[in-house]
Structure 1
Amino acid sequence: MKPHYLTPLFSPRNVAVVGASDTPGSVGQAVFANLLAGNFQGKLYPVNLNHKVVGGIPAQPSVKLIEGPVDMAVVTTALRSLPGIVKDCGKKGVKGILLAKDFADSEEQERAALAEALSIAKHYGIRILGPNVLGLMRPVAGFNASNYNSRVRAGNLALVSQSSALCTAMLDWADSKGIGFSSVVSVGEALDVEFGEILDYLVADNFTQGILLHVHHVHDARRFMSALRAAARTKPVVVVKSGRYEDDVTGLTHSSNLVESGDVFDAALSRAGVLRVSTIAQLFTAAKVLAANYRVQGRRLAIVTNGIGPGVLAADSAYMYGVELAKLSDASMALLNDALPANWSHGNPVDIIGDASPVRFRTAVKVCLDDPNVDGVLVIFTPQAGTDHLTTAQLMVGLQRESSKPMFLSWLGDAKVSESRELFSKAKCAHFRAPEFAIEVFRNLSSYHHNQQMLLQTPAPLEGAQVVPDISHARAVIATAKQQGRAVLSERESKEVLAAFHIPVNPARLARDADEAARLAADIGYPVVLKIDSPDIIYKSDVGGVELNIANEPSLREAYAAILARAQAARPDARIEGISVQAMRKRRNARELMVGVTHDASFGPVITFGAGGIAVEVMQDRALSLPPVNQYLVERMIDKTRIGKILGPFKNMPAVDMEALKSVLLHVSELVCELPEVREMDINPVMADEQGVLALDARIIIQPLPARSKPYGHMAIMPYPMHMVHCSMLKDGTPVIIRPVRPEDAHMQQEFVRNLSEESRYNRYMSSIKQLSQSMLVRFTQLDYDREMALAMIHEAEGAEEQLAVARYVTDPDNESCEFALEVADHWQGKGIGAILMNALFDAAREQGLKVMVGEVLAGNKGMLKLMTRLGFSVQVHPEDRALTIVTKNLLPEPPAPPVQ
């Protein structure tokens, strides 16, 4: 794959500093001095209109007068001069510009100059980082294009921050802790280069083993999420967010009123497989622990201590942080009863008594580590009479090497246990001066594990559907409202849309007068419910627009007139279509729930679930998730809510039909994926009991669609492309299925590679591997379908699936071209598989708007060369290595021929 297009910014060889100066206190002087002092191995060119020499180096008045190539320009001059500078850079062939100069929001002239400069940069293909940035550093390369005047150590962590002030604070804190960086990137306002693109670069950066992000806001959520998920699959990513309570989600429905932007950001990060923390200290601590490959498989902690006081305080901290204290198994309890003094605590925390010897410590900790109910062990040592801190520490170090579960060591005290702490540091064991710090790290590790499980979820928009939804009818209902200039669907229309997606609803039938209402009620059967039908009235109860449990016709006629009178008095401006008549549904064991959709400015649609009814906003009981969701994600949503605790058998009530409830949430996910016009939705109340689930009330808010967008372009997470699944047939009549690869295909993919011949494996991977490594397996099966695709050809025989072939492409960073690879099982060669699979891959690439496809085949593979030629590739022999053939194909359709004159 060709170098990332941000390489001129992050790894330049020739740098021009526009505004480089010898004037003390100026930005140009600070940046140029840092570049000179950083031992940068490339060439530096000062650019200054008034001085011929800066820092002892000859200066030029313009970038275009510099002899030799320039990869990057650092601009430290006033922004009013920026358009001319960018034009000069474009003519010189510069591909990256860093704006190391702040500007005031109130100065319209500077804003206009900046907009003009961005337009010029786009014309020349120049990428701009900033403005309002501290700068850019690559400590591992001695490159420091910033105005930061303190030391920055080289290391393996990348720091990307949206705030220059916060970035300097983090750098100062990190230096005091001996933490180093591979890259430090100050994003600033991110008017051009933003988080997603920077993350893309860092994912492939061999110097970076972990990524730290400070985020304030996100411009392109799809790009941000795609890059974040790609990074989290290979490297630990830790995020600190500022402005949690800014830009709250706003809307017309209860779902929107219940959600804050910080909650949506949390949900997005959990789906991305990264860890969110609250403070700078947590940011670096979590990064160090994750980079040291500490991992947990759950949130159940065992505490072993020789002092019940510290043990109880640690247990209190665990409760506060939401860490579960493990319940030791019966076998573990028996072993501890046999090995410990009779007065041990007989529970968790495991107090092994103050005079505990090193061997007693080891015994208790080993039992806890071996217990299947335990995910991690916190060991608290208090120096008391008869104890041996150093020998105990040595035994713990040895025990950690034997166990796959993490241990967290807290030796309380200072001078007495300093030698043990030095031992832990040398052995790279996780040790903490206070137990609560250890518990906080354990909580973060368990959250990281949970989020990594969330990362594996790639639901389809229609996953879990038993029947295909009537999408055309739902779109017709929405189209009618749009033609009438309405953004709000009535309850009756909203229920029509829900029913089209097989969500059980209590039907609403419109009555335009009392006589029609009486006829409908007689048809439905008493008792009935009357509700005002108006697209302008969102909350019917607020205007007295609802009457329940109407038992007969006289009561119905009286209620009809009263509802109309109250609604017209409260909202004389509202359009009233009539009054809807519905059956009065009463279920003794029902729980009232709420399912909704809201819209976040950055991340798009968000699904909400929680307690319903009239007190929904007072209860504040909700969980949320970015669509699409699947069974696993739906179960996690339900588990997060308080109402979820009483959906099982509760007092004298039987459990609700959980499969029916999960089905509703899955169908809501389908609806959100397939109907991008839906901006908000409330289904409240949803009545759930042992008989099933029924939506009693609903309201949908719609929005206009952009003129052109990618498939599912309204969503932050690209769903599994179910529409690409199709059946085909080989030349010999063998039926096959072609579908995108999923994470659960890992075992089948591994078997496919194992069964390839040694020659085929070498030709594909340029290595004599026998099977894929775990990291390669993850890379090939956990896909972001927005930027890559792998289509597997599957043959089913005797209930088992066999992968016959796989074709995949990966987009280049420019998002316009892609590289492809094709693998066919040796014993399935010659059956037309290559042509079928490659044509399917072309269609997928065109759908994503890609323009060019590039790949490689061996020159000796004549069959593959014939196939590629037949499929329309341009075949060229690589001039440097005639054994390698490069094949390219333009994916865009040929322009129509001009008409004959």
Structure 2
Amino acid sequence: MTVRNLDAVFQPKSVAVIGASRRPGSIGNMVWQRLIEGGFKGPLWPVNPKYTHDDDGFDGRAVLADAGDLPAPPTVAVICTRPATWPALVHRLGGMGTRAAILVGEARTDDDRADLRHALAAARPHLLRIVGPGSVGALTPALNAQLGAAACVARPGGVAWVSQSNALTNAVLCWAAARGLGFSHAIALGDEADVDAGDVLDYLASDPGTRAILLEVDTVRAARKFMSAARAAARNKPVLALRSGRGEPGDALYTAAFRRAGMVRVDTLDDLLDEIETLGVGRVAASDTATLITSDRGVAAVARDAFGEAGDTLAQWDDAALAAIKAALPRAQAGNPLLLGDDAKPEHFGLALETLGTHRSTGTAFVVHAPTHSAPVEAVARMLIDRQRFAYRGLLASFFGGVDAKTRDLLHAHGIPVHTTPWRLARAFGRLVDYRLGRELLMQTPEGMPASGADAIEAAQTQARAALATGDGELTGDAAAKLLGWFGLETLTPPRDGNATDAAAKQETAKPIVDVSVEFRDDENFGPVFHFVAPSADGVSPPLRVYGLPPLNPVLSRDIVAQSPYVRRVPPAATLAAVTELSQAVCEVREIVGMQLTLRVLPLHTVVVAPRIRLAATRSRFAIVPYPRRLEETVDWDGQRLTVRPIRPEDEEQHRAFVESMTPDDLRLRFFSAVRSLDHSQLARMTQIDYDREMAFVATVVDADGKPRTLGVVRAVADPDNETAEFAVTVLSGLKGRGLGRLLMERIIAYARSRGTHWLLGEALRENSGMIALARASGFTVTPTDDPGVVGFRMALD
């Protein structure tokens, strides 16, 4: 399961506390007190047979003896009783219609764990979701819903906190409360018996109240679900991850996984806490440069050093910005940092923001200020609030000596983050830059995948299966070289009879730039992964150890290769191709379960040395679903040979041409509004899909120039539970009525049905008679929607 019924946890309408207590220090008492202190406005029912005869009840609420006595099914139940009671309680609550339960207690013994298994089995038929056990709770401050035994009551804010640790959750909640910071949601996952980090990331990805997600995680259990959820979330909003254990052998794999998902890994809890300020308070637009504004030369030097240490870049002003500042503030030292002078007044800070605001070259505004007699902190803060509208890339502030709570809260209320030192401010901004760059990496269009054709891939698959059939589970020497050769990889073979005749052997005498050890293996968390190790480049620094999660395209391969200290010593094209080809080999030949080899990087060439390939009939699933080549097919249509296949990231330009060849009216009917063109980010979302939960089939032909041309596309995007999928289909304007739309519809219906999707849904403008006719002919029921100008389509696939 994934997001199903998680709204019951994060948007509860009524709450039952099973095991509510008056005994100080008990879990039942702490949970009840948090709900009362938080001010939850919905129905709140205490359940405990020990207190049913008390006349005054619990804070004016009658105490119920049993969950069966509840007057209505609670949206969520917080269960504070011992594990032996969990199965019966979950069975009864699920039968009533309760959709979620939070298990605050822990399952410590074998008997406890058996009770937990029975509780999970009791929950399953009712789709009741379980948070925990061992969860300190789930909080939605905007609804005054403080569910659990958290150490502090949280305030509303824009950042979500997701953690596997109760202690860190309590520490973060109290730290934030002391600084006037809040959360959209906060949850401690506990033992993740049901609801896990991937589920919560999926929910928060589309939560409108969450602007950013802070994740603390020690292990990832369901890697494919986690990676799909993390990639979806990171495309929508910043996701920052903290994991302890930097020195552990497998920790670098988590770094690779976080980067592949588009998340930003932070090194310390302090860094994560700073982002509660930056992301939860501020509205900082995408920028990788900034302008420092201060009054004192010493403060400017300190701030500039902090900015440099954090890897940030001071904006290079254009001539117009310099001239404008000199005219507006003649006594200031124009430049970056901008020095307003020791006698600067609050209005000078405001005038600087107003003057620079029209000059885009100045980037994000950083105001770093130490209080002076002429510019007290409170007065400068009010001026920043008054002039922040001019900071088009956002505004961040740092006040040496601190700021009082009233002024701080006022700045927060107007979306201005306040950091205590320039170093914390600079590092926080640097992580925003890292997020933007990582997101751009996710959406870069690959230059093209390896040229291995279907025949070569089939030959490689046949070789692997034939070897297994004869009981040969390992390929070495010529056999391994032959299999890799189908993917364009050249293996260095020893010269025979002293004659180096082949191209690879001739280069044996060339001095290698570096030998990179490559291992492909199964990881217990992330499934099949690559591990690349390069020796120290200077004999002093440690060896390079980098993980890569297949499938790898040329863009992702470049990201791996770029981390090597040897990258500047040789043109990278050959190494990029080799890494990408290795990825294609393991993706296409499912029998490959392990591989060890050396990539020898030569001045003009990269070859494989001493490959060993292990084969087996089955292997673990990839954390990221590779391109599903098995779904490609060639069909005859309207006198043409048509290729129907899943869309690929490198199809972006082809897809752009497809969209641009459609008529304005057809674009309006497809996108429900006037569309002139699609930019790179929009096209990237259409072509770089997660094959685990989305599919798009394109129909292509080869034009007179020998290039593929897209004639039509159909796509379906499933919800994380695979309960429903929404479809859309488009064909070129001049091809309507010739059966191409029906051909594509048949394939997306069959695909959705094969995945176990229950319902296929769609919508069209009421005037789109062609789409409505196609939907009816394909078996959809046409229904009205809340919008009188739009009709809906619905098909049961069970």
Where do residues 125-140 of structure 1 align in structure 2 (5 Å cutoff)? 125-140=127-142
Structure 1 residue runs of 5 or longer lacking an equivalent are 249-259, 509-519, 530-581, 648-655, 707-712, 893-901
Secondary structure, aligned partner of 2:210: coil
Is 1:95–2:103 an aligned residue pair? no
| Residue 189 of structure 1, CA deviation | 0.7
| Residue 156 of structure 1, CA deviation | 2.6
Q: Quick one: distance in 2 between partners of 1:389 and 1:38?
A: 33
Is 1:213–2:215 an aligned residue pair? yes
Q: Quick one: distance in 2 between partners of 1:418 and 1:72?
A: 35
| Residue 335 of structure 1, CA deviation | 8.1
1:286 pairs, out of 258, 271, 275, with 275
Q: Quick one: distance in 1 between partners of 2:703 and 2:471?
A: 54
Q: Quick one: distance in 1 between partners of 2:349 and 2:785?
A: 70
Is 1:505–2:491 an aligned residue pair? yes
Q: Is the 8 A contact 2:132 2:194 kept in 1?
A: yes
Secondary structure, aligned partner of 1:73: strand
Secondary structure, aligned partner of 1:35: helix
Please, which moves more after superposition, 179-188 or 29-38? Answer: 29-38
Tell me the TM-score normalized by structure 2: 0.82
Corresponding residue for residue 659 of structure 1 = 573
Q: Quick one: distance in 1 between partners of 2:524 and 2:157?
A: 36
Question: Are the structure 2 counterparts of residues 790 and 411 from structure 1 closer, same or farther at C-alpha, using a change threshold of 3 Å?
Answer: same
Please, which moves more after superposition, 418-427 or 226-235? Answer: 418-427
Corresponding residue for residue 200 of structure 1 = 202
Is 1:270–2:259 an aligned residue pair? yes
Q: Quick one: distance in 2 between partners of 1:314 and 1:116?
A: 58
Q: Quick one: distance in 2 between partners of 1:394 and 1:36?
A: 36
Corresponding residue for residue 606 of structure 1 = 529
Deviations 1:826-871 (A, max 9, x none): 6643232320221221243245343432334578866555533443
| Residue 434 of structure 1, CA deviation | 3.0
Is 1:445–2:368 an aligned residue pair? no
2:608 pairs, out of 667, 690, 695, with 695
Kindly provide the amino acid, as one letter, of the partner of residue 627 in structure 1.
Answer: P
| Residue 110 of structure 1, CA deviation | 0.9
2:158 pairs, out of 133, 156, 159, with 156
Secondary structure, aligned partner of 1:137: strand
| Residue 226 of structure 1, CA deviation | 1.1
Please, which moves more after superposition, 205-214 or 40-49? Answer: 40-49
Q: Quick one: distance in 2 between partners of 1:21 and 1:425?
A: 37
Please, which moves more after superposition, 876-885 or 171-180? Answer: 876-885
Question: Are the structure 2 counterparts of residues 336 and 673 from structure 1 closer, same or farther at C-alpha, using a change threshold of 3 Å?
Answer: farther
Q: Quick one: distance in 2 between partners of 1:34 and 1:329?
A: 52
Q: Quick one: distance in 2 between partners of 1:60 and 1:659?
A: 71
Please, which moves more after superposition, 800-809 or 133-142? Answer: 800-809
Is 1:788–2:694 an aligned residue pair? yes
Question: Are the structure 2 counterparts of residues 484 and 36 from structure 1 closer, same or farther at C-alpha, using a change threshold of 3 Å?
Answer: farther
| Residue 117 of structure 1, CA deviation | 1.7
Secondary structure, aligned partner of 1:224: helix
| Residue 806 of structure 1, CA deviation | 4.2
Question: Are the structure 2 counterparts of residues 353 and 237 from structure 1 closer, same or farther at C-alpha, using a change threshold of 3 Å?
Answer: closer
Question: Are the structure 2 counterparts of residues 26 and 329 from structure 1 closer, same or farther at C-alpha, using a change threshold of 3 Å?
Answer: closer
Q: Quick one: distance in 2 between partners of 1:198 and 1:60?
A: 32
Corresponding residue for residue 640 of structure 1 = 563
Structure 2 residue runs of 5 or longer lacking an equivalent are none
Please, which moves more after superposition, 354-363 or 13-22? Answer: 354-363
Secondary structure, aligned partner of 1:217: coil
Question: Are the structure 2 counterparts of residues 12 and 443 from structure 1 closer, same or farther at C-alpha, using a change threshold of 3 Å?
Answer: closer
Q: Quick one: distance in 2 between partners of 1:390 and 1:124?
A: 56
Deviations 1:406-447 (A, max 9, x none): 6665565679x9999999778755564433223212321221
| Residue 391 of structure 1, CA deviation | 11
Q: Quick one: distance in 2 between partners of 1:392 and 1:115?
A: 59
| Residue 717 of structure 1, CA deviation | 2.1
Kindly provide the amino acid, as one letter, of the partner of residue 608 in structure 2.
Answer: A
| Residue 727 of structure 1, CA deviation | 6.0
Q: Is the 8 A contact 1:157 1:180 kept in 2?
A: yes
Where do residues 385-396 of structure 1 align in structure 2 (5 Å cutoff)? none
Deviations 1:623-642 (A, max 9, x none): 33322222222222222221
Please, which moves more after superposition, 854-863 or 213-222? Answer: 854-863
Corresponding residue for residue 550 of structure 1 = none
| Residue 152 of structure 1, CA deviation | 1.4
Secondary structure, aligned partner of 1:447: helix
Q: Percent identity?
A: 27
- CA RMSD in angstroms comes to 5.0
Q: Quick one: distance in 1 between partners of 2:579 and 2:358?
A: 38
Q: Is the 8 A contact 1:875 1:887 kept in 2?
A: yes
Q: Quick one: distance in 2 between partners of 1:370 and 1:813?
A: 43
| Residue 620 of structure 1, CA deviation | 1.0
Corresponding residue for residue 456 of structure 2 = 470
Where do residues 386-535 of structure 1 align in structure 2 (5 Å cutoff)? 404=392, 428-429=415-416, 432-457=419-444, 463-465=449-451, 467=453, 470-475=456-461, 478-479=464-465, 489-507=475-493, 521-522=496-497, 524=499
2:759 pairs, out of 852, 875, 892, with 852
Kindly provide the amino acid, as one letter, of the partner of residue 79 in structure 1.
Answer: P
Kindly provide the amino acid, as one letter, of the partner of residue 840 in structure 1.
Answer: R
Q: Quick one: distance in 1 between partners of 2:420 and 2:577?
A: 48
Corresponding residue for residue 513 of structure 1 = none
Secondary structure, aligned partner of 1:270: helix
Q: Is the 8 A contact 1:135 1:147 kept in 2?
A: yes
Kindly provide the amino acid, as one letter, of the partner of residue 223 in structure 1.
Answer: K
| Residue 646 of structure 1, CA deviation | 2.2
Question: Are the structure 2 counterparts of residues 311 and 42 from structure 1 closer, same or farther at C-alpha, using a change threshold of 3 Å?
Answer: closer
| Residue 675 of structure 1, CA deviation | 3.4
Secondary structure, aligned partner of 1:808: strand
Corresponding residue for residue 40 of structure 1 = 40
1:718 pairs, out of 611, 625, 632, with 625
Q: Quick one: distance in 2 between partners of 1:19 and 1:664?
A: 61
Kindly provide the amino acid, as one letter, of the partner of residue 638 in structure 1.
Answer: V
Deviations 1:449-506 (A, max 9, x none): 221112225769x823355573445445555665687765435544333223211111
Deviations 1:356-384 (A, max 9, x none): 97989999998999697x86676666789
Q: Quick one: distance in 2 between partners of 1:235 and 1:95?
A: 28
Q: Quick one: distance in 1 between partners of 2:79 and 2:38?
A: 18
| Residue 95 of structure 1, CA deviation | 2.6
Q: Is the 8 A contact 1:332 1:371 kept in 2?
A: no
Question: Are the structure 2 counterparts of residues 402 and 351 from structure 1 closer, same or farther at C-alpha, using a change threshold of 3 Å?
Answer: closer
Corresponding residue for residue 673 of structure 1 = 587
Corresponding residue for residue 321 of structure 1 = 310
Q: Quick one: distance in 2 between partners of 1:352 and 1:50?
A: 69
Tell me the TM-score normalized by structure 1: 0.73
Q: Is the 8 A contact 2:3 2:721 kept in 1?
A: no
Secondary structure, aligned partner of 1:521: coil
Q: Is the 8 A contact 2:644 2:697 kept in 1?
A: no
| Residue 78 of structure 1, CA deviation | 0.6
Corresponding residue for residue 28 of structure 2 = 28
Q: Is the 8 A contact 1:753 1:772 kept in 2?
A: no
Q: Is the 8 A contact 2:369 2:398 kept in 1?
A: yes
Corresponding residue for residue 180 of structure 1 = 182
Corresponding residue for residue 167 of structure 1 = 169
Question: Are the structure 2 counterparts of residues 371 and 294 from structure 1 closer, same or farther at C-alpha, using a change threshold of 3 Å?
Answer: closer
Question: Are the structure 2 counterparts of residues 686 and 330 from structure 1 closer, same or farther at C-alpha, using a change threshold of 3 Å?
Answer: farther
Count how many residue pairs are aligned between Structure 1 and Structure 2: 785
